Structure 1
Amino acid sequence: MDVSCPRSGSMLKVWTKLKVVKQGLKELHHKDFAKLDERIEGLRVDLGKIQTQLAACPTDSNVQQSERECSETLKKFLHIQESAYRQKARIQWLQVGDSNSKLFFSAMKERIAKNTSSLIGVDVGVVRKGKQLSATDAEMLVVPISDAEIDAAIKDVYEAVKEFFRTGVMLKQVNNTSVTLVPKIQNASCVKDFRPIACCLVVYKIISKILTARMQSVIGKVCYSRKYISPRCMIKVDLKKAYDSLEWPFLKTMLSELGFPVKFVNWVMQCLYSVSYSIMINGCPTKPIPANKGLRQGDPISPYLFSLGMEYLSRCLPALADNPEFSYHPRCKKLDLTHMMFADDLLMFSRADESAVKPLFDAFTKFSLASGLEANLHKSEGSFPFRYLGVPLTTRKLSFTYCKHLIDRTVARIKSWTSKFLSYAGRLQLVKSVRFGIQLYWCQIFVMPKKVMKEIQRICRCFLWSDTDAKSRKASVSWEQLCFPKSCGGWNLKDLTVWNKAAVLKHCWALALKQDRLWVRWIHAYYIQHRDFWTIPIPNGLTWSSRKIWHNREVFLQANGVDQFVQAGKFRIQKMYKFLHPFGVQVGWKRLICNSHASPKSTFIVWLAVQNKLATKDRLISWHLNIDGTCGLYQLESESLDHLFFSCSYSKEIWRQVLIHLGVTRAVLPWQEEVQIAVKRSRSKKKKACKYSIAFIESVYCIWLQRNSKVFRDHVDPVKAVVSNIMFNVECRCQ
């Protein structure tokens, strides 16, 4: 595509081409991807009619070809539908899917309602007739992409970026930022009720990242580097709208005074001066609004510019040492500590009297007048315990009450979804995400109370087996087994208590090696004092959390040193976790579960079945439940796992017909023998063996669904319909 630009400039050329591409993408969407649901429903109806014809005339080659083409088209559109729903639902925790478009569609509707936007469908139908591409032309379109093609495609982008660094001029359209307003609360109406999410253009981000990379290599040489320490007495200052309030002239002065070249300063300031914002309101952008101060959250260079702005304060505070009225905090004088910063969170330290605090206040006031940053007085007051960077700071033992926020977050995430939309596999995936993701940050800082770990485990266990956080029915498999690797019969969940201990041992390693971190230097300066960390008694005056870290050093002594847990100069928590949590023996059926291409929800049911952990009636009776023990499908014999798979006439006929579709000519065998055959087939990577394994897993799952449908709704589908559904799933999963 060649777009001529009468006005000179590589940036304008790229911008014009992007507008043409945008129009082409709109046309492609309208012609090929509109009204997906109706297309899929129509294809399902067509496929059913063709399969009926095929059943009547199984040798008709034309009908066979029509069935293949319709099936392939349906699979393609089902994949497109799931992908679209997944993106719109923004479910980040679900890494592997069951084609659960119902879950994604529900989440998507919730997001649309919450964000008060609407969707518009366009009815466009296109029928193509006439000439088609030759086989040679078609093959040419799908050959591997070469480096030369990529260079040719983005040559204009290269020229646009180089033009900026050559001229120092930024095209305003390139630096226009789309801002989406996401409501923080329901029925949001005021500006403060929305969270702005900015999206910068790719061309600008390339320019910004180049500047960021160059600045990153030198910023450590001019910025105050003392971080990460938690003194017991401090002044907490919260900066009001920190990114939005920083004055541009102040930033330009700071860059110049720190020695950045004039040309580099002009590049950076041009990135700021050319900024404009288009606010997306219900999907419609406003006219560009020019900015006159502040930084953008989504801009790669913003954190570095903010750090350079805060460097002004970092240089003002150490100068207080020469002020006779100022006195250090008693535990900060040896390291000359006056403050600590993390982004816009600021802590300042001094002796707790008015004469010592006043110089701190004067220094901050001077910084505020120069930079435009002000303290948020409502958020800058409090007493111990209080939260800092998401975790509680307290002078006492970390109690269950202090960790209530962590438990509440876990419950909130769990309650967001119910079994109405999630299978066992979906709940398991959410449990993995919630359990490990939410507590990860806390567990690397504190030795967590055992009561907290047990409560989080209880909540997740109840949700997995009963889709609620309140009360669990009898668990089918122990939690300890779920924490085993898949090869050992588990699902590779993390044992939180063990992982917490492994993570905290990283602090012991840092103290022993005297790593160049401020908190390590602080501990050595006030407590270790040139003694050996491994042999020194636990010092008096340590906080509860520090004493807990000290107690855990015995693990290294039992492991004969730390070398086995270090790789490339870094302590590996996973290595320590494996040392503290040895796994069980491998199970014989591991490949059936680990190598399966079947849907996760089906695989989970088979995982239960091969261990005889499904809630069949014989097991329910063993739990002293007063129920009828006959088969849930035909109620002729007692229900057990061996009867349900595949001694029951209904399930036996389903598996017999599936075997015929797979081209296997043999009788249906008892459950244990069928499992052994499926395990043996799962060891092969050939497509035929893969197809067999998927068919076995999907058959067990569908039979279990039919059994539950008969027990709870008194309905069972015909064998033919079940087999058709199984084989359709097999074909889809074999792609």
Structure 2
Amino acid sequence: MRRFIEVIGELGLRDFPLVGGPFTWIGGLNSQATSRLDRFLISNPWEDHFSAITQSALPHLVSDHSPIVLEAGGFSSGKSPFRLKNMWLKLDGFKDLVSWWNDYSVEGYSSHYIAEKLKALKKDLKNRNKEVVGNVSFNRAEAFSRLQQWEAKENENPLTPGDVEAKNLALEDYKKWALLEETSWRQKSREIWLKEGDKNTKYFHKMANAKARRNFLSKIKVNGVNLSSLEDIKEGVCRAYQSLLSDFRDWRPSINGLSFKELGEGLASSLEVMFSEEEIFAALSSFCGDKALGPDGFTMAFWLFCWDVVKPEILGLFREFYLHGTFQRSLNSTFLLLIPKKEGTEDLRDFRPINLVGSLYKLLAKVLANRLKSVMGEVISDSQHAFVHGRQILDVVLIANEAFDFRLKGNNLGLLLKMDIEKAFDHVKWDFLMDVMSKMGFGHRWIKWMNWCCSTTTFSILINGSPSGFFRSSRGLRQGDPLSPYLFLFAMEALSQLLSCARNGGFISGFRVGGRGREGLLVSHLLFADDTLIFCDAEADRLQYLSWTFMWFEAISGLKVNLNKKEAIPMGEDIPMETLASVLGCKIGSLPTTYLGLPLGAPYKSTRVWDAVEERFRKRLSLWKRQYLSKGGRLTLLKSTLSNLPTYFLSLFVIPKKVCARLEKIQRDFLWGGGALENKPHLVSWKAICATKKEGGLGIRSLCTFNKALLGKWLWRFTNENESLWKQIISRDDTRVKFWKDLWCGNQALEEAFPILFNLSVNKEGWVVEAWEEDEVGEAGDFVLIGTLMIGRWEK
């Protein structure tokens, strides 16, 4: 199968998403077997002729195969909102045009002042675009035609000095329009990893069209009803999200019984100081200028480019927010964009809502988020690892695998419960969120700021690029708002505290990890945002208490466990899983499984766990892409892919040599061309390619060497992160800790604390486990140096 996929890629053929269901064949006993056997494969030249291509499965009326239909045409949509094009920033005199807004006559508060100026500036920019820019592709073609005319004339007769100057002007004109066109398509494609000016316009064009196809809605299912007309789709989607984001003000229990970690008074006050110009400009500089645009239509690149012109108005906006805790409500409007979670999806529940907030609000929220980020570690428990400085996603997987291994070694039955939250950001109750922050010790002014940022939100839904509907929300957080990840952690902290209370009260259990007997660290749950992993005994009573904990969390926060993704995984045999799963209302899983995209309970040397990495690697470096990229673009994509895709695995597992060889072959074929169907020579050895640029190479990292470097980072972290949860667990595993040289007893290695004993030792590399002697029962013990390998008996 791998060979078949390679041939498809080498031929430059692509399989488009299937609309109408994931399968085209149903058969087997009682029609229980399903598969995707039928498909159209599209070539690049054919795809370039059409902007909209859909592949649909029809009902199978006669055969056990579904008929499939390929449709191609253009996109139909309504009026598009204003969108500033970053290519305008490259035009001579653009900043002078922006400076006109000092002449706009507007009165009122600072936020109203700047909002009205933006409206007036939009009109001027639209007129300027029509008069000066026009159709960029047409202008580039015209400039190229003039350049060709001069070259044809030069081939016939020598050019005069005046003609040479005219030809050079034509060349510069062509370069200008070519760069503007490339900049425009790069912004539309969102392929921000690749820089402009490297002649990759065709690639940007192709990726922009692919993105438009992926997000195009020709039909959708809302609450079980199929909608196909554009007006029905707009009305149905808007009504569904208006209901989803509305809080019906049901009774909510108090959270006074929960205890949270609290901010000190000094830290709480530091969040509420006046905003400085340096702080605002640093936040503005951290944005990518080519991200998708919100309702105001202005990119962050615009504000950075025109900072010296617009700075007084922006500082006035921040001053108003600091003094009054408010700003013009129109600045907090939002476009809600639906992104399909998987190919060929039709149900509204399978779309991910991404919120495109206005640029000025985004800047304000970023400044607030930067402040909030600095104190998250003070109020978030060790069980949570997302968006907290010093904690990493890899820590969660490492701890989970350690807990799994210790449980199996002890031959104890247990359950792993994987779950996440249904419509996580959309269901958060604002009053609950403010209560949590109050319990954590945040100041009154800060809570007022957060409440205004949440409660003044308005929405329009982007359907095929055109905004539809307009409504306010009364609950929920926005994916795309810089503040939302941190505020959501506060909501999940309530779940963490509920689970901790249930564990401390003996109602639910956890797994003891590391150490011996009762000295191990008790781990009951791990969270990364809403991805939750719970460790418990395989007992119905424990699971019933756990179920009540979830119900209580839903009552106080509005957040509900996603039943479709809740999965109970048995650890051990003879566990009555059907009975236990019915208590929680969840599915039954099995080991090995995955958590946060990494394997859990799988043999770490198995090559099979790397199949998903190889598949994503192959898709990212598809051979069809190299046709549209310059050599510099190919090199950039190679480096980008290596930094994004396998790094996750390489940081925790040793890559098998077979897997490394297959991945490097994909890289070589992408850089040089080739494969089984096109036998192109690779002119330079891969070892030379991976050398640094100073050594004559291209600086591509060798996967095996990179793997060793990433694994080596754990040694540095082990030395420097004394308070982290993962280190506490690793340190308690005495089979992996050196008795004399590791920091496992206090803040100093024993070889430094007791140098005389260390010099007497006959096993200076010995492990902690070698110095432990259990009692007769095996439940307790003590460290015994004499008689162990640490100090010989003759030295007594």
TM (norm. structure 1) is: 0.64
In structure 2, distance between residues paired with 1:113 and 1:151: 39
Aligned to 1:80: 180
In structure 1, distance between residues paired with 2:499 and 2:350: 35
1:486 is aligned with what amino acid?
A: K
Aligned to 1:3: 104
2:740 is aligned with what amino acid?
A: D
Change in Cα spacing, 1:115 to 1:302, as seen in structure 2 (3 Å) is closer
CA contact (8 A) 1:180 1:197 kept: yes
1:73 is aligned with what amino acid?
A: D
The one of 288, 300, 303 aligned to 2:482? 300
The structure with more helix, counted as a fraction of residues: 1
Q: Which has the higher contact order (CA 8 A, sep 6+)?
A: 2
In structure 1, distance between residues paired with 2:376 and 2:198: 47
Change in Cα spacing, 1:325 to 1:90, as seen in structure 2 (3 Å) is closer
Q: How does 1:28-177 map to 2 (within 5 A)?
A: 28-53=128-153, 58=158, 60-95=160-195, 98-116=198-216, 150=307, 153-177=310-334
Change in Cα spacing, 1:309 to 1:208, as seen in structure 2 (3 Å) is same
Change in Cα spacing, 1:424 to 1:64, as seen in structure 2 (3 Å) is closer
Which deviates further from its counterpart, 360-369 or 383-392? Answer: 360-369
In structure 2, distance between residues paired with 1:50 and 1:466: 36
The answer as to 2:557 corresponding to 1:377 is no
In structure 2, distance between residues paired with 1:265 and 1:448: 47
1:25 is aligned with what amino acid?
A: L
Partner SS, residue 62 of structure 1: helix
Aligned to 1:254: 436
Aligned to 2:470: 288
Partner SS, residue 221 of structure 1: helix
Partner SS, residue 733 of structure 2: helix
Identity %: 31
The one of 531, 538, 543 aligned to 2:739? 531
1:318 is aligned with what amino acid?
A: S
Change in Cα spacing, 1:479 to 1:280, as seen in structure 2 (3 Å) is same
CA contact (8 A) 1:252 1:265 kept: yes
1:347 is aligned with what amino acid?
A: L
- Cα-Cα RMSD: 3.0
Q: Deviations over 1:552-603 (max 9, x none)?
A: xxxxxxxxxxxxxxxxxxxxxxxxxxxxxxxxxxxxxxxxxxxxxxxxxxxx
In structure 2, distance between residues paired with 1:96 and 1:487: 25
Change in Cα spacing, 1:89 to 1:237, as seen in structure 2 (3 Å) is closer
Partner SS, residue 286 of structure 1: strand
CA-CA distance at 1:424 after TM superposition: 4.9
CA contact (8 A) 2:426 2:475 kept: yes
In structure 2, distance between residues paired with 1:171 and 1:518: 44
Aligned to 2:622: 415
2:699 is aligned with what amino acid?
A: N
TM (norm. structure 2) is: 0.59
CA contact (8 A) 1:341 1:347 kept: yes
CA contact (8 A) 2:623 2:670 kept: no
In structure 2, distance between residues paired with 1:514 and 1:426: 39
The answer as to 2:601 corresponding to 1:394 is yes
Q: How does 1:614-653 map to 2 (within 5 A)?
A: none
CA-CA distance at 1:185 after TM superposition: 4.8
CA contact (8 A) 2:650 2:710 kept: yes
Partner SS, residue 279 of structure 1: strand
CA contact (8 A) 1:415 1:469 kept: no
Change in Cα spacing, 1:327 to 1:488, as seen in structure 2 (3 Å) is closer
The one of 249, 268, 285 aligned to 2:450? 268
CA contact (8 A) 2:432 2:557 kept: yes
CA-CA distance at 1:193 after TM superposition: 4.0
CA-CA distance at 1:68 after TM superposition: 2.5
CA-CA distance at 1:533 after TM superposition: 5.1
Aligned to 2:366: 209
In structure 1, distance between residues paired with 2:671 and 2:768: 42
In structure 1, distance between residues paired with 2:440 and 2:457: 24
CA-CA distance at 1:504 after TM superposition: 0.6
CA contact (8 A) 1:459 1:470 kept: no
In structure 2, distance between residues paired with 1:150 and 1:415: 40
CA-CA distance at 1:3 after TM superposition: 2.8
In structure 1, distance between residues paired with 2:494 and 2:424: 15
2:728 is aligned with what amino acid?
A: R
Aligned to 1:139: none
In structure 2, distance between residues paired with 1:155 and 1:294: 33
CA-CA distance at 1:439 after TM superposition: 0.6
In structure 2, distance between residues paired with 1:467 and 1:9: 63
Q: Deviations over 1:43-79 (max 9, x none)?
A: 2332333345556664733323322222221221122
Paired residues, number: 511
Which deviates further from its counterpart, 303-312 or 257-266? Answer: 257-266
Structure 1 unaligned regions, length at least 5: 119-146, 541-735
In structure 1, distance between residues paired with 2:425 and 2:766: 46
Aligned to 1:667: none
CA contact (8 A) 1:484 1:491 kept: yes
Q: Deviations over 1:148-204 (max 9, x none)?
A: x95553212222222223223342211101222334455654323433222212321
2:667 is aligned with what amino acid?
A: C
CA-CA distance at 1:93 after TM superposition: 4.2
In structure 2, distance between residues paired with 1:96 and 1:32: 22
Q: Deviations over 1:509-540 (max 9, x none)?
A: 33356633211111112325782356244969
Which deviates further from its counterpart, 315-324 or 264-273? Answer: 315-324
The one of 621, 624, 637 aligned to 1:430? 637
Q: Deviations over 1:108-130 (max 9, x none)?
A: 33333333399xxxxxxxxxxxx
CA contact (8 A) 1:181 1:194 kept: yes
1:85 is aligned with what amino acid?
A: W
- When Rg is computed on C-alpha atoms for both structures, the one with the higher figure is 1
Change in Cα spacing, 1:26 to 1:190, as seen in structure 2 (3 Å) is farther
Aligned to 2:653: 446
CA-CA distance at 1:371 after TM superposition: 0.7
Aligned to 1:180: 337
Change in Cα spacing, 1:189 to 1:313, as seen in structure 2 (3 Å) is closer
CA contact (8 A) 1:200 1:298 kept: yes
CA-CA distance at 1:15 after TM superposition: 0.8
Change in Cα spacing, 1:177 to 1:522, as seen in structure 2 (3 Å) is same
Change in Cα spacing, 1:469 to 1:366, as seen in structure 2 (3 Å) is farther
Aligned to 1:368: 554
The one of 511, 520, 527 aligned to 2:727? 520
Aligned to 1:592: none
Partner SS, residue 469 of structure 2: coil
Which deviates further from its counterpart, 354-363 or 49-58? Answer: 49-58
The answer as to 2:212 corresponding to 1:26 is no
Structure 2 unaligned regions, length at least 5: 1-100, 219-303, 386-394, 405-414, 568-588, 743-764, 771-796
Q: How does 1:570-589 map to 2 (within 5 A)?
A: none
CA-CA distance at 1:291 after TM superposition: 0.9
In structure 1, distance between residues paired with 2:474 and 2:668: 53
Change in Cα spacing, 1:447 to 1:347, as seen in structure 2 (3 Å) is same
Aligned to 1:702: none
The one of 545, 560, 574 aligned to 1:359? 545
Change in Cα spacing, 1:498 to 1:363, as seen in structure 2 (3 Å) is same
In structure 2, distance between residues paired with 1:270 and 1:103: 42
Change in Cα spacing, 1:479 to 1:50, as seen in structure 2 (3 Å) is closer
In structure 2, distance between residues paired with 1:424 and 1:207: 40
CA contact (8 A) 2:147 2:167 kept: yes
